Amino acid sequence: MNHRILFGSYPIPRFAGIASHNFVIWTDDKGRPLYEINGGAANSDGSFNYCAIRGPLTAVVTDYAKRDLVHYPEFYVRPTSRTVLLIEGSYSSIAARWRAAVDVAERIRLSNLRYSFLIQNSNSVATAITEGMGLTPPSTAVGRVRAPGSHRQLMLDPV
């Protein structure tokens, strides 16, 4: 098996699992997670705000080799998470796409955008990350009810 980039969705229990939190994941040739990118709000100390209703919009890159759930969330390993394959390829081809994803994540962190549950949130971050890699988010994981904010284009400064 090749390395893969997957688009993940975690049904949010607080909203009866109807609305989801979207994220992007890189797995190795055995299907093990290497890295994950989540969007959301940051707490004032820079940690990831799992229950955000406001705050600065952020994108967090989790390295599964250096686990720290306070600052670097992991949704891929949750039993209710679902994934869709975006691309599969050699280590070097996936690494090049992931580098583009990390660059978009950095632009989001520096953007001074504010988190908003319905407008710009984890789902709009996942969409921006996916499009930044030259890929298309799966239609099964986006939508105004299923993934509020997933259709929102983040206004990021050009590189």
Which pLDDT score, from 0 to 100, does residue 53 have?
A: 77
Q: Does residue 154 sit within a domain?
A: no
Q: Does residue 149 sit within a domain?
A: no
Q: Quickly tell me which residue has 């580098």 as its tokens.
A: 99
Show the domain range for 125: 3-141
Which pLDDT score, from 0 to 100, does residue 47 have?
A: 83
Q: Does residue 147 sit within a domain?
A: no
Q: Are 122 and 38 in contact (CB under 8 A)?
A: yes
Question: Per-residue b/e over 84-94, b at no fewer than 16 CB within 10 Å?
Answer: eebbeeeeeeb
Based on the structure, what is the number of domains in the chain?
1
Measured between alpha carbons, how far is 23 from 29 in angstroms, rounded to an integer? 20
Q: Does residue 156 sit within a domain?
A: no
Q: For residue 83, with 0-12 CB atoms within 10 Å meaning exposed, 13-18 middle and 19 or more buried, which class applies?
A: buried
Which pLDDT score, from 0 to 100, does residue 61 have?
A: 95
The pLDDT tens digits of the residues spanning 127-144 come to 999 999 999 998 877 766
Q: Quickly tell me which residue has 């239609």 as its tokens.
A: 139
Q: Does residue 153 sit within a domain?
A: no
Which pLDDT score, from 0 to 100, does residue 54 have?
A: 82
Q: Does residue 157 sit within a domain?
A: no
Which pLDDT score, from 0 to 100, does residue 156 have?
A: 72
| pLDDT < 50 positions in the chain | none
Q: Does residue 101 sit within a domain?
A: yes
Q: Does residue 102 sit within a domain?
A: yes
Which pLDDT score, from 0 to 100, does residue 145 have?
A: 57
